[in-house]
Amino acid sequence: MTVFCQVDVLVTSLSRRLSPFFSQLIYLKITALLFPTSDFRHPVTTPALLYISQALTKCPVMSLEDVTSGLVLCCLAVEYISFSKRFCPELINFLLGILHLAVQDKTSTGYSVVPPFRQNGKVSDLLVLSDPESSQTWSKKTLPLSATQTLTLTTDLDTDHYRAEHQFFKKGPILKQCCLLDLHGEILATISGSLTSRPLLVFQKKKPIPLKLFTPKIVEVLDYGKKRGNTKEEREKERLNHKYKKEFKGALREIRKDTRFLAREKLNEVMGRDAERKRKVKELFGSLATQEGEWKALKRRKNSRH
């Protein structure tokens, strides 16, 4: 749960466009270890991979710390997509931008970079060596490029990945212009020998001719999706049946209206009789009360005489 919350915080922190800190990189690493990264959609790893892609695209590279953080993100991106064999263009663009920072002469490069890198600027020479001879002390190791030599494409997925690598190798001039020429001469030779022109995907000039099919049988349809009869008698029967149903519904409607009217009149009659009976009972009680009062008054007068 803590890792999920931290990934959510990482995604929301991209609005500041700051490179991720060490603690955030640790959470991304733990996410790759605890949760599956090969799922098509996952509530934890998918936002984490989106954060890595957005960070490689939006976070500006202003210092060596940003370069280091970006390279760590590239390693994490490779770890995320290695099992599912996905293609991450943000990773390739960031690596090309890092190589661009090591190019000394940027007047005629022959290539273009994408954000967060710029073709020229105060931080475009961040990785340029002040002394070219200092690279002689670096350790030289060969980098195998078996993907470009004796490559067997068995599936469509392998073909797509080879095309992605071909897009990366098209940036060979950027390697020739940076200080890595002495270290990776074999790589440059392999790249120059593997580049071939490939046609772009275009629409056909003419629309494909459809296959000849049977002529569909068109049947005239009435309302409510019912089929109309084929003969005159069937159509007349259908019309009379429809008229009968319509009249029957109208008769039922009128009967319901009459029933409600009779019930209402009967209720009014009963309520009228009840009101008349209550009035007569009230008058009777009133007359009895008057008689009782007169009788009591007469009795009091008789008693007073005696």
Residue with token string 């661009």: 100
Residue 138 has pLDDT above 50, yes or no: yes
Please indicate, yes or no, whether residues 75 and 156 belong to a single structural domain of this protein. Answer: yes
Please indicate, yes or no, whether residues 109 and 257 belong to a single structural domain of this protein. Answer: no
- Report the predicted TM-score, pTM, of the whole model to 2 decimal places: 0.49
| Lowest model confidence (mean pLDDT) among 111-115, 146-150, 230-234 | 146-150
Please indicate, yes or no, whether residues 162 and 284 belong to a single structural domain of this protein. Answer: no
Mark which of 160, 179, 194 sits at the end of a domain: 194
Please indicate, yes or no, whether residues 182 and 286 belong to a single structural domain of this protein. Answer: no
Mark which of 166, 194, 222 sits at the end of a domain: 194
Domain count, the chain: 2
Indicate whether 271 belongs to any domain: yes
Indicate whether 296 belongs to any domain: yes
Indicate whether 282 belongs to any domain: yes
Please indicate, yes or no, whether residues 51 and 180 belong to a single structural domain of this protein. Answer: yes
Q: Which domain holds residue 282?
A: 241-305
Please indicate, yes or no, whether residues 175 and 37 belong to a single structural domain of this protein. Answer: yes
Residue 153 has pLDDT above 50, yes or no: no
Residue 42 has pLDDT above 60, yes or no: yes
Phi, psi of 290 (to 5 degrees): -65, -45
Indicate whether 210 belongs to any domain: no
pLDDT class of 262 with cuts at 50, 70, 90: very high
Dump pLDDT digits (tens) for 175-199: 555 555 555 565 556 556 555 666 7
Please indicate, yes or no, whether residues 94 and 155 belong to a single structural domain of this protein. Answer: yes
Average pLDDT on 279-297 reads 90
pLDDT class of 201 with cuts at 50, 70, 90: confident
Please indicate, yes or no, whether residues 114 and 258 belong to a single structural domain of this protein. Answer: no
Indicate whether 9 belongs to any domain: yes
